[in-house]
Amino acid sequence: MAVKKKAEEKINLDSILFKCRDILRAARNSGSFFEKRDMMLTLVFLRFIGEKFEDGVENLRKELLAQGLDPDDEEIFKAFFDDATFTDGTYNLPVEARWSTIINTPAPGLNVALDTALHSIAASSAALKGCFVEGTFTTRNLAPNDIKKLIDEVNKISHKAFGEEKDLIGRVYEYFLKEFAVNATKEEGEYYTPHDVVQMIAAMIEPFDGTLYDPCCGSGGMFIQSAELVKAKRGDISCINVYGQEKEPATYRLAKMNLALRGISHNLGGEADSSFTHDLHKGIYFNYIMANPPFNLKGWYDENLKNDARWADYVTPPESNANYAWILHILSHLKPLDGVAGFLLANGALGDSDTLEIRKRLIKNDKVEAIIILPRELFITTDISVTLWILNQNKKGGDYHGRKLRNREHEYLFMDLRTWTENPVKNENKKKIRLTTEQIERAAEIYHTWQRDGIDGKDYAIPELYRSVSISEIEKNGWSLVPSKYIEFIDHDLEIDFPAEMCRIQQEMRNLLMQEKESQRMLEEAFRGIGYGLD
């Protein structure tokens, strides 16, 4: 009898990470959630940088062969491979730091081998120093069997296998955030911005060249996705220089790791710290700002911030909530003549009473350009609907990325995308949806068309989707930026012809009664046919 062959399990990133999670949960000395997460991210970093090195060596061999040189010749090998230089940002790794060395190390020596690799990388590359904590693995000292199983699983994570993942390190970060951090909420600042949300912001403000800043950069996902957009549109990521700041030390290291692996020029400051109390880029102005700050952040305020220059022309933001502190911080870093910012906030910021004066001045100063309500369930760690704000320092018009823009002074575009929920994400523990490329392009088209020369803002509207309004209308609505106050919503009940609908319902009821009587009659005849009555 033939043995039934077991169907091969489909390998995907989540299934690999699920196994890694279980190994770490069961392992002795694996530490806290943060230590487990940092161990995994460091392993993935070593895997990625090792794979990139291997790809670099393979490409170099092909180039030499194309030039008629033998890469296996002793002299050629010594000249090109002993101290290889790669033109695509690939790091030349010492032998002890290569993934091929790590994966072939016997289990009892893996903890030491991993820390040796980290020390070697830090010592040989200034750009990679500070991306990880040296001594991570010998400090935790996982059992040989546990660390070996972990390494074998991480070995399956490859850009070749999962090339469709735009930001694999960020994806790993997101997975362990949602699986391990039971209490990690968007309000507490532990979060990862989904790819589609970043793509939406980037599609709107188009950070193609110049400087890009994120004051709460997390794992660097905003920069990664923006670089992908730049490559798709312009082909050269060297046109954009990124600046960022991150408060959490572990996430700061992760961002440095992520950007270094991508070869993206970056300045994240010399340390992890708060953008409010220690602005590492004070006095620098940027072409573009993209951000996803922690929603409704508490505990941000310090007494030294009372007369801070960032809100000197406005009002000190409330201590209980940092939403408007983020807005004013972002505004303070935008280039005065043409800076553009796209960032997310909780919907409450659109009409909070304790921030009315700041909001009023932002509108009067014509800093706000567009308010876009996004669908619910876009994030892993919260299911609330959020708002994309766009600030623009130049609403007077002119040339912008090949388009001729009109004067939009004291005009504001409102968009409501809460009904765009038809794309659920499968295999998630909670309900989650995503925005498709077509939806993102549609939203960007609405915004860019509204900006375009020749468009009449007074008539720019589609009911239940978007509408352009003037400052006078916003003033009449008490300086609220809630889109539902401006976008026309149709009462679909009014479209119903009630008399005709009642006639239809009555006719259906008559038909049902007739069918019931007919069924009763047939049943009586059947029973009489076999000699029984129904009385």
pLDDT at 166 over 70: no
pLDDT per residue as tens digits for the range 273-319: 999 999 999 999 999 999 999 888 888 999 999 889 999 999 999 99
Which position has the higher pLDDT, 358 or 266?
358
pLDDT at 494 over 70: no
Identify the sign of the CA torsion 70, 75, 80, 83. positive
**Where residue 163 falls among pLDDT bands split at 50, 70, 90?**
low
Q: Is 501 left (phi over 0), alpha (psi -120 to 50) or beta?
A: alpha
Q: Taking each helix axis from N to C terminus, what angle separates 168-180 and 13-26, rounded to the nearest 10 degrees? A: 50
For residue 77 the two structure tokens come to 């090998």
For residue 301, the Cα-to-chain-centroid distance in whole angstroms is: 26
Q: What's the pLDDT score for residue 473? A: 97
Tell me how far apart the 2 most distant CA atoms of the chain are, in Å. 110
pLDDT per residue as tens digits for the range 454-468: 999 999 999 999 999
Strand partners, 467: 414, 461
Q: What's the pLDDT score for residue 286? A: 97
Q: What's the pLDDT score for residue 110? A: 95
Judged by DSSP in three states, 242 sits in strand
Nearest in space to 39 (alpha carbons), one of 272, 264, 253, 261: 253
Poorest-confidence range of 43-47, 55-59, 222-226, 495-499? 495-499
Q: Write down all domains in the chain, each with its CATH number in brackets.
A: 13-164 (1.20.1260.30), 186-485 (3.40.50.150)
pLDDT at 182 over 50: no
Which position has the higher pLDDT, 513 or 304?
304
pLDDT per residue as tens digits for the range 341-350: 999 999 999 9
Percent over 70 (pLDDT), the chain: 85
Q: Which residues of 441-472 are buried (b: 16+ CB within 10 A; e: fewer)?
A: eebbebbbebbeeeeebeebbeeebbbbbebe
Q: What are the phi and psi torsion angles at 470 (to 5°)? A: -100, 165
**Where residue 381 falls among pLDDT bands split at 50, 70, 90?**
low
Query: Averaging pLDDT over each range in 208-212, 311-315, 358-362, which range is the top one?
Result: 358-362
- With residue 462 as reference, give the H or E element that holds it: strand 461-462
Gap between the Cα atoms of 256 and 254, Å rounded: 5
Nearest in space to 197 (alpha carbons), one of 183, 186, 182: 186
Q: What is the mean pLDDT of residues 418-441?
A: 84
Mean pLDDT of the chain: 84
pLDDT at 374 over 90: yes
pLDDT at 185 over 50: no
Q: What's the pLDDT score for residue 281? A: 97
pLDDT at 412 over 90: yes
Long-range contacts of 420-427 (CB under 8 A, 24+ apart): 420/375, 421/375, 421/376, 421/377, 427/14
Q: What is the mean pLDDT of residues 116-143?
A: 88
Percent over 90 (pLDDT), the chain: 46
pLDDT at 247 over 80: yes
Gap between the Cα atoms of 166 and 182, Å rounded: 26
Angle 48-160-59 from CA coordinates, rounded to 5°: 80
DSSP secondary structure string, 49-73?
HHHHHHHHHHHHHHHHHHTT--TTS
DSSP secondary structure string, 233-273?
HTS-GGGEEEEE--SSHHHHHHHHHHHHHHT--EE--SS--
Gap between the Cα atoms of 473 and 457, Å rounded: 13
Give, as one character, the DSSP assignment of residue 247: S
